[in-house]
């Protein structure tokens, strides 16, 4: 009986270690991607909108920093990581690089400012997408629907006047 229990435990241990060893092999076998020459950048932006007839200006700076390398588990591919945050310290429930427009007891509306990959000239992201997103409280899941201009105006009294965003840098990777 003890021998059978020991064999079962050894088999379970081996099965538990297989994913760890595969991940460890991925770390050793696959090369790191080329490293960025520029690892830090500051990107000011200005967002002007009108809410119920009142003009509101949001100005801040997106700060982007290189954050090392991560492995896409199961694929064995290593990719560069970037982190971004707003200089003001403002935080969004969906991403650290969104500007809040309206927050009440049930809704939050954010303007997506773009990805740090885009701003830092990383080939992983060549498109910068800007849109309003609606967040319903309590926050749950990761799906935050986009809001069109008409719904934004009719439902929330918000009209986008302009937004000025910094251009991405030209970066090299070696």
Judge whether 150 lies within some domain: yes
Q: Quote the domain boundaries for residue 86.
A: 31-165
CA distance 27 to 55: 52
The whole-number pLDDT of residue 42 equals 97
Number of domains in the chain: 1
Give CA 18 to chain center in angstroms: 31
Judge whether 155 lies within some domain: yes
List C-alpha distances in Å: 95 to 84, 116, 163: 9, 11, 19
Question: What's this model's pTM, rounded to 2 decimal places?
Answer: 0.73
pLDDT bin (cut points 50, 70, 90) of residue 10 is low
pLDDT at 137 over 80: no
The whole-number pLDDT of residue 21 equals 45
Q: Is 107 exposed, middle or buried (0-12, 13-18, 19+ CB in 10 A)?
A: middle
Average pLDDT score over residue span 126-146? 61
pLDDT at 141 over 60: no
Judge whether 26 lies within some domain: no
The whole-number pLDDT of residue 113 equals 82
Average pLDDT score over residue span 127-151? 66
pLDDT at 24 over 50: no
Share of the chain above pLDDT 70, in %: 71
Q: 91 vs 87, which has greater pLDDT?
A: 87
pLDDT tens digit string along 147-159?
A: 888 888 998 888 9
The whole-number pLDDT of residue 99 equals 76
The whole-number pLDDT of residue 143 equals 56
Average pLDDT score over residue span 73-100? 78
Judge whether 5 lies within some domain: no
């Amino acid at each position: 009986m003890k021998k059978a229990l020991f064999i079962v435990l050894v088999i379970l241990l081996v099965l538990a270690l297989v994913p760890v060893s595969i991940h460890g092999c991925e770390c050793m076998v696959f090369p790191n991607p080329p490293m960025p020459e520029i690892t830090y950048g500051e990107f000011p932006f200005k967002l002007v909108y009108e809410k119920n007839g009142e003009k509101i200006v949001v100005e801040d700076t997106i700060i982007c920093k290189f954050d090392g390398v991560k492995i896409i588990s199961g694929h064995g591919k290593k990719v560069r990581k970037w982190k971004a945050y707003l200089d003001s310290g403002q935080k969004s429930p969906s991403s650290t690089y969104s500007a809040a427009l309206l927050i009440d007891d049930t809704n939050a509306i954010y303007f997506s400012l773009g990805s740090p990959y885009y701003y830092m000239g990383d080939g992983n992201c060549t498109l910068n997408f800007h849109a309003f997103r609606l967040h319903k409280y309590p926050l749950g899941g990761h799906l935050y629907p986009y809001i069109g201009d008409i719904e934004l105006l009719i439902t929330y009294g918000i009209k986008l006047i302009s937004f000025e965003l910094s251009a991405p840098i030209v970066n090299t990777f070696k």
